[in-house]
Amino acid sequence: MKTGLVLPGGGARGAYQVGVWQAMTELGIAKNVAIISGISVGAINAALFADKDAFEARRLWMNIKPSDIMKINAHRIGDIIYDLIKTHKRFRDRIAYLFSSEGYFSREGLERLLDTYLNYDRIANSDKKIYAVCADVSGKSNSEVLLSTLGIPVGKSEYIALNGANAGKIKKILMASSSIPFVFDRTDINKTGYYDGGISEGVPITPVYREKCDVIYVIPLDKKQVIEGEDYPGTKIINICLNENYRSVIPRSLNFSQELISKRIEMGYKDGMRILREHL
């Protein structure tokens, strides 16, 4: 039976997917997964699951510090302050400058985490097919990309395989898939500009479904990402979805506190064990 796994994006909520993966491992399902497709944090988890066992994946997540992900891009802030004080642009041009391809937060921490914890050779040579979904925004203006903040799809989804790629390309692809517009820098690969795949496609099921899987496990991080089985005939769809009562001034996708990461991993594990057992 051919088995696929779909991992949508959701920032810090991606810890939930690690808990579900642990449940899949303990129930003997993970070893049968042949194809994994992910967007944004889901793409990073896809690479992680191809490389590490569930315990090591959990350990990486528990070592994430908020400063690793949400470190202010001082250069960008400095440029904006200079622009406001020293230049004499029209108001429209000033607003446009606030939404450029350079993000407000640095990617150095994430790059360091990927280089420290991922074995790129193992990912490239994995017996599982691994896809990361990126949004190709070639020819799109920043104002068009801004529409993505309203939930309007922007760009063209590209399903990029990590298998067979070198270390530098794998890292670039993972960075591209998680490049949230205006939060992080746009990522350019071979002169093509990419942003987070979530702005062009909510759930990266396409590359998995086209592989003709008999069963596809989807781990949504929001109820809007739940996949209806009747839309994908010939395949059994099993959703294990994060459902949390979250209250904080910090957006839930950006809250990387270790306490919340641990809680979400445990939620994923418990939900996974409960739902997956129903389908064994």
- Reference 41, options 245, 216, 198; nearest CA is 198
Q: How far, in Å, CA of 67 to CA of 259, rounded?
A: 15
pTM of this prediction?
Answer: 0.90
Structure tokens given for 87: 């230049």
**pLDDT by position in tens, the chain (length 280):** 899 999 999 999 999 999 999 999 999 999 999 999 999 999 999 999 999 999 999 999 998 887 777 666 445 444 544 454 455 555 444 444 455 556 667 788 889 999 999 999 999 999 999 999 999 999 888 778 877 877 889 999 999 999 999 999 999 999 999 998 878 888 999 989 999 999 999 999 999 999 999 999 999 999 999 999 889 999 999 999 999 988 887 888 889 999 999 999 999 999 999 999 999 8
Residue by residue, DSSP assigns the chain as --EEEEE---GGGGHHHHHHHHHHHHTT-GGGEEEEEEETHHHHHHHHHHHS-HHHHHHHHHT--HHHH--B-HHHHHHHHHHHHH----HHHHHHHHSSSS-SB-SHHHHHHHHHH--HHHHHT-SSEEEEEEEE-TT--HHHHHGGGGT---SEEEEEE-TT--HHHHHHHHHHHT--BTTB--EEETTEEEEEGGGT-SS--HHHHTTT-SEEEE--SSGGGPPPGGGSTTSEEEE---------SS-GGG---HHHHHHHHHHHHHHHHHHHHHT-
CB 230 within 8 A of CB 157: no
